[in-house]
Structures are given as C-alpha cells and as structure tokens.
C-alpha cells in the first residue's frame, strides 16, 4: 500500500479538487481543480471530473486503480449516492459511485467530506500516530468524523460522526419532548456554526450576517460581538465534553473557518475542561487541524483503504 | 477460545458474584456469591473473593487461567485500581488487579461493571450478532458501554461509555459556561436516573424517595408521577439521539431497574425518533437487555478476551 497513489476527489460547493495522493505519506503528487458549478447538472459535472482525473493520471508514472470521493452531505455512503446537500443543487440524487465507476473503469468509494478530512488528519495531520481521534469542522455548518485504529467509524447507516446534529441545549425540557418536532432543535450546528454566529451578529448587532464580521468586531473590543462568540464556544465545549465522556478519544482535532480565528481553540479547551470531571479534564487534548484545505482531497484518496463499512 | 471457561467476578454494592463462564456460549458453568460488605475492608473482601474463586474452580473440570472483574466505577481499568465508588466505601484505592493476581496466580483484567455488561449483551444477549452496540443501564445511576466488532471501546483513559455524564440540558446557556463549575450539571445521570426519579417523587409528590413508588403511582394513573417519568424518558431520548448522531450504532440495548418498568422502552424509542432526522429515525433499533442480573458476571468473564486497551 505504502507509496501506491490513489485518486482523491474533493467536491466542494465552489471548487472540486482532484489529486493523485501518495498513500504512504499523504503527499499530493499531482492536482487539478475546477469550478463545481452544480447547476450545470450531473452530466457536465461528471464529465469535468473524469477529465480532471485523466489529466492527473496522465501526469504521473504510477497507475492508481482506486478513487475516493469526499462530498458534502447528506449522502448515502453505501450506494455512493448524493442525496440533497443544499450547496450542490443540480447534483441531487446523482449515483456518483456508479456513474464514476462506469466512466473511469476504476473502483470508487464515496463518503462525506468531513469523514474524508478526519482520515487525512488521522494519518498525516494533527492526529497522526494517535489510536483514536474525533475530528470536528466548524464553518458554515458543523461536521465531523471519528477514527479508531486509523479507520473511520461509519455506523449502521454511514451517519456516525454527525456531530452537528448533537442536541446541546434542547430549549425544551424532558417533559416537553414529543414524538415529533425536535429535529434540528437545539443542535450544535444551530447554536455554534459560522452561520449561527453570523445570524446572531445580524440580529443583535445589525451586521451583514457573516461570521467573519463578528470576529473582526470582537477583535476590536466589542463586547456584544465577543458574547456571541463566547456563546458559540460554550456550546462547542458542551459537545466536546459529551464526546469525551462517551468516546474518550486520544485527541480532538478542530478545523474549519471558525476554528482558525485567534484564541478560539484555547478558549474551547478551557471551557470543555469546565464541563468534565478532573480525570478527563486532565487528559483532554484539543488540537488545530494541520492540513488546512488539502485535508479533503488527501482524505478522499484514503477512503478506499481505510473505510470498510462491510467488514 | 470457544468453550474454554474464564472466571468472571461481578462486584456489586450488595453481593459479589463469582462464576466460571463458557466463553463460547456464555453459559454459567458454576457460580458462588457472597455479601460484599465493603466496610469489612480490603483484606477480608479479597480473601472472600479468592475463596469463592477456588470453590468455583474446584467444581469444574477445565482449568481457567484468566479472571475478569467488573466493578462499580470510578475505577482505573489500566492499573485495575478501585478509585472511589460511593457504594464501595472501604475498598477505595484497592489495587484489585495486583492483589488478585498475587492471591490467585492468574491474570486479572478489571473494568467497570457497565462495560462488562455491554460485552455480555453484545456476545450472548440482546445485541448478539450485531457489529456495533451501545449499552445503557439506568438504575441508581446511569452507566454504559460501547462495543465495536465485539470489542469494548475503552478510550484513552478507559472512560469511554460514561453516558451518564453526558450533558443533555445544561440549565445554563453557552454564554454562561466558564472554565469551572459545570461538572455534573445537567447530566443524564442527574436528570434521568432512578435516583433522580425518586428524588423528584419526594420533592414533588411527598413520596419516600424510591423510584419504584413513582412508577407504582403512575401505574395507578397519577399524572404528577407520570410527568416525572416522562421527563426522565425525554432526557434519555436526547442522549440516545446524540449517540445515534455520533456513533450510529446497529443497536441500543437498555438495561437496569428503571428500564424494566412497563412501557419505558417503547416510549423512549418514540421520543428518540422525535429528535432524529428521518434517515436515522427509521433505522433506530432500541432493545431491552436480555441477560438480566447475569450480564455482569458473564461479561466480566469476557473482559480478558475482548478488552485490549493496549492494542
């Protein structure tokens, strides 16, 4: 395996990246990227993807025979079907695995982009060498992936690691729960994503709705902006504490735009410790993602090797 | 392995059970039990345990060479030390693994009792044949264990599966979190254990403080008692939904006194579905524990085989 490249495809709402990746050290050997333009439809997107793969393969000596694809969720990782990700309108219900296997003649493994990034950070990034890791990405939404012994924990339906759906402050108490109507309420994504921070900035401070502006204002000493950020980090701390209590991973790795902001990670670590008993607080290890934007395409190339849902 | 017995020891606040267990089918071949009497001190307890082990081994043909011990937490499963479980006063800080290895000449593996029960239910109980399971026990406290491919998920410090410590309703919002003071606040154990139900019965209905009385009164149609139970089940539903979103296990298994009460499990399944997106709600599988009181001692005997923390 070591040294044999695989093709990684990282589908983003804006750009799609294609790369030949050395699976032995995570190095990107060759890469291409193109504007995703999901509204152009499936056929056009699949053709562009195949062309980019061919181009990458034409530039390298080794012959990769496997393709891994990371894609914004929700997807069905078993069948490799894109379901209905909001930023991929026009590609909904596309049977990505089947179509790409037909077009390339190679085996294709599809999973969500956060799971791919989790694999990359586990093998060649911030969690390298660790037995277990929880990766969390906080940007427009909140996603995640869990690895154990270098492999993804996929779950029965492929939905393990959907950390953004964790309820961290129900806003309703136990006696108010009914058999319907709580989907999405009080979830980490609704309370702590970049979208949530931006929305609070709009509602409370009259800003444009972008999270960046809230961070900028907080950096200038605005206490209202700082309170919005602290609130989001507080909810991230509850989620992190809950994951520490249930999975007790060797390391947490946080990536995504929100986590790149100065002082977010130290503050998160401090508040998470405040929610844990001393034995876990003392061993808590929270790190910044190390691979940045490349995590998606590197991790995609690792999917065929390290995600085995039917084992 | 199949058919070779191991010795399981299940230390309870009241009784300690010792059994020779066939690891191939989970059958108890021989068993002994004695009153734990933790206040008698470590030496007396260890002597009684050794005597019970000898007695069990004297009654069977095969020669077990491994002992597994399930013990109420908190414990340190790496060193096999009992830390400070409230119902084992007198045995605090006992180096159970070292002492028992010295006394018996056999290899001893110690873990918490909920992890042991999780192993038993995974191999020979309600989750038998499933790839992944989350076991939750709700009685005086709330405990749990997670299994993947038949093995325990132990975590970095051996604290994985401490589901009772999950924060399900902080009672403080994100902006109120500080670096200390939230330990234990809003946790599942505080809101949904038998102790919590009993306490609510005492405070709200003037009962004695036992959960059983609240269930009895609810069975007679008392709406206040029913509300207390529904509230606890609501919080269990939030926790179950959070675990479904993060681990997406094949099956949840619920055991313990509270879960034996009529209609608790169907209600829990209904409310948990109310907190999940349709894809996960549709595949949610919640089952009652199958092995009852024997889960502890059977699972203890499985610990040497299926818990490998240093792999």
* CA quadruple A49, A55, A58, A64: dihedral sign: negative
Q: Do B154 and A248 touch (CB under 8 A)?
A: yes
Query: CA-CA distances (angstroms) from residue B29 to A153, A276, B23, B284?
Result: 36, 41, 10, 35
**CA of A273: which chain B residue's CA is closest?**
B179
3-state secondary structure of B277: coil
Query: CA-CA distances (angstroms) from residue A236 to A167, A222, B216?
Result: 11, 21, 40
Tell me whether B173 touches chain A (CB under 8 Å).
yes
A87: burial class by Cβ within 10 Å (0-12, 13-18, 19+)?
A: middle
- Give the range among A42-51, A197-206, A302-311, B134-143 with minimum mean pLDDT: A302-311
Report the DSSP beta bridge partners of residue B152.
B147
Q: Do A277 and B132 touch (CB under 8 A)?
A: no
Per-residue pLDDT tens over the stretch A237-269: 999 999 999 999 999 999 999 998 888 999 999
DSSP string for residues in A255-307 = ESHHHHSTTHHHHHHHHHHHTS-HHHHHH--EEE-SSGGGHHHHHHHHHHHH-
Tell me whether B214 touches chain A (CB under 8 Å).
no
Over residues A116-144, mean pLDDT = 97
The shortest CB-CB distance from A238 to any of B153, B167, B274 is to B167
**CA of B284: which chain A residue's CA is closest?**
A156
CATH, domain range A126-290: 3.30.420.40
Tell me whether A166 touches chain B (CB under 8 Å).
yes
Residues of chain B contacting residue A182, judged by C-beta atoms under 8 Å apart: 274-275
Q: Do A247 and B178 touch (CB under 8 A)?
A: no
Residues of chain B contacting residue A163, judged by C-beta atoms under 8 Å apart: 245-246
Query: CA–CA separation, B122 vs B130, rounded Å?
Result: 7
Query: CA–CA separation, A121 vs A136, rounded Å?
Result: 11
Cα dihedral A243→B248→B10→B4 (10° resolution): -130
Q: Higher confidence at residue B192 or residue A309?
A: B192
- Quote the tokens at residue B231: 């509230």
Q: Is there a common fold for A5-112+293-306 and A126-290? A: yes
Confidence of residue A3 (pLDDT cuts 50, 70, 90): low
* Shortest distance, CA B22 to any CA of chain A (angstroms): 27
Return the pLDDT at A122. Answer: 98
Return the pLDDT at A206. Answer: 97
Residue extents of the structural domains in chain B: 5-118+293-306, 128-290
Q: Do A271 and B178 touch (CB under 8 A)?
A: yes
CB B134 within 8 A of CB B117: no
CB B94 within 8 A of CB B42: yes
CB A256 within 8 A of CB A239: no
Tell me whether B234 touches chain A (CB under 8 Å).
yes
Tell me whether A129 touches chain B (CB under 8 Å).
no
Return the pLDDT at B39. Answer: 84
CB B264 within 8 A of CB B258: yes
Tell me phi and psi for residue A19, to 5 degrees.
-145, 150
Confidence of residue A45 (pLDDT cuts 50, 70, 90): very high
**CA of A130: which chain B residue's CA is closest?**
B156
pTM, full prediction:
0.94
Q: Higher confidence at residue B176 or residue A38?
A: A38
CA angle A128, A131, A133 (to 5 degrees): 70
- Half-sphere exposure at residue B159, Cβ-oriented, CA atoms within 13 angstroms: 24
Return the pLDDT at B311. Answer: 42
Per-residue pLDDT tens over the stretch A148-192: 999 999 999 998 999 999 999 887 555 566 665 555 678 999 999
Tell me phi and psi for residue A205, to 5 degrees.
-125, 0
Picking from A141, A248, A277 by the largest number of B CB atoms within 10 A of its own CB, the best residue to mutate is A248
CB A116 within 8 A of CB A302: yes
**For residue B116, what are the contacts with CB-CB under 8 A and spacing of at least 6?**
B8, B10, B68, B70, B145, B295, B296, B299, B300, B302, B303
Peptide bond into B74 cis (omega under 30): yes
Q: Do B283 and A243 touch (CB under 8 A)?
A: no
Picking from B155, B218, B270 by the largest number of A CB atoms within 10 A of its own CB, the best residue to mutate is B155
Per-residue pLDDT tens over the stretch B119-155: 999 999 999 999 999 999 999 999 999 999 999 999 9
Residues of chain A contacting residue B234, judged by C-beta atoms under 8 Å apart: 173-177
Tell me whether A100 touches chain B (CB under 8 Å).
no
Tell me phi and psi for residue A203, to 5 degrees.
-70, -40
| Pairing mode, strands B151-152 and B75-76 | unpaired
Query: CA-CA distances (angstroms) from residue A224 to A203, A204, A216, A221?
Result: 11, 8, 12, 9
Return the pLDDT at A308. Answer: 75
How many CB atoms lie under 10 A from the CB of residue B244? 31
Q: Do A245 and B159 touch (CB under 8 A)?
A: yes
The CATH number, out of the four listed (3.30.420.40, 3.40.50.10490, 3.40.630.10, 3.40.50.920), of the domain defined by the range B128-290: 3.30.420.40
Mean pLDDT of chain A: 92
Query: CA–CA separation, B196 vs A306, rounded Å?
Result: 43
**For residue B102, what are the contacts with CB-CB under 8 A and spacing of at least 6?**
none
Q: Which residues of chain B have pLDDT under 50?
A: 1, 311
Over residues A280-300, mean pLDDT = 96
**For residue A93, what are the contacts with CB-CB under 8 A and spacing of at least 6?**
A81, A82, A83, A84
The CATH number, out of the four listed (3.40.50.300, 3.40.50.10800, 3.30.420.40, 2.60.120.20), of the domain defined by the range B5-118+293-306: 3.30.420.40
**For residue B203, what are the contacts with CB-CB under 8 A and spacing of at least 6?**
none
What class, spelled out in words, does domain A5-112+293-306 have in CATH?
Answer: alpha beta
Tell me whether A247 touches chain B (CB under 8 Å).
yes
Residue for token digits 């994100």? B174
Residues of chain A contacting residue B77, judged by C-beta atoms under 8 Å apart: none
Query: CA–CA separation, B176 vs B197, rounded Å?
Result: 27
Return the pLDDT at A176. Answer: 63
Confidence of residue A272 (pLDDT cuts 50, 70, 90): very high
Tell me whether A63 touches chain B (CB under 8 Å).
no
Per-residue burial over A17-44, b if 16 or more Cβ lie within 10 Å, else e, is bbbbbbbeebebbbbbeeebebeeebee
Residues of chain A contacting residue B132, judged by C-beta atoms under 8 Å apart: 155-156
Q: Where are the beta strands (DSSP E) in B61-121?
A: 66-71, 75-76, 81-82, 107-112
Tell me whether B238 touches chain A (CB under 8 Å).
yes
Confidence of residue A311 (pLDDT cuts 50, 70, 90): very low
Query: CA–CA separation, A4 vs A66, rounded Å?
Result: 10
Return the pLDDT at A89. Answer: 87
Query: CA–CA separation, A100 vs A84, rounded Å?
Result: 19
**CA of A282: which chain B residue's CA is closest?**
B157
* Shortest distance, CA A62 to any CA of chain B (angstroms): 34
Report the DSSP beta bridge partners of residue B143.
B137
A173: burial class by Cβ within 10 Å (0-12, 13-18, 19+)?
A: middle
The shortest CB-CB distance from B276 to any of A175, A183, A276 is to A183
């Amino acid at each position: 395996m070591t040294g044999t490249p695989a093709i990684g495809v990282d589908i983003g709402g804006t750009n799609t990246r294609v790369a030949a990746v050395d699976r032995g050290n995570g190095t990107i050997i060759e890469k291409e990227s193109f504007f995703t333009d999901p509204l152009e439809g499936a056929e056009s997107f699949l053709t562009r993807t195949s062309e980019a793969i061919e181009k990458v393969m034409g530039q390298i000596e080794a012959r990769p025979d496997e393709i891994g694809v990371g894609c914004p969720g929700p997807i069905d990782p078993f069948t490799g079907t894109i379901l209905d990700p909001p930023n991929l309108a026009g590609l909904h219900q596309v049977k990505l695995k089947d179509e790409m296997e037909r077009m390339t003649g190679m085996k294709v493994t599809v999973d969500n982009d956060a799971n791919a990034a989790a694999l990359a950070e586990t093998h060649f990034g911030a969690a390298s060498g660790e037995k277990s890791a929880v990766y969390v990405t906080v940007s427009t939404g909140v996603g995640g992936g869990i690895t154990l012994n270098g492999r993804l924990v996929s779950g029965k339906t492929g939905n393990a690691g959907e950390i953004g759906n964790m309820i961290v402050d129900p806003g309703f108490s136990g006696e108010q729960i009914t058999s319907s109507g709580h989907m999405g309420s009080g979830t980490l994504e609704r309370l702590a994503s970049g979208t949530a921070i931006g929305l609070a900035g709009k509602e409370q401070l009259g800003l444009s709705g972008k999270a960046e502006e809230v961070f900028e204002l907080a950096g200038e000493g605005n206490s209202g902006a700082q309170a919005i950020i602290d609130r989001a980090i507080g909810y991230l701390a509850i989620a992190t504490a809950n994951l520490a209590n249930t999975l007790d991973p060797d390391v947490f790795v946080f990536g995504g735009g929100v986590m790149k902001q100065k002082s977010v990670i130290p503050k998160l670590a401090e508040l998470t410790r405040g929610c844990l008993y001393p034995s876990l607080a003392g061993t808590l290890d929270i790190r910044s993602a190390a691979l940045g934007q490349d995590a998606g395409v590197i991790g995609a190339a690792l999917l065929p090797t390290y995600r085995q849902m039917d084992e």
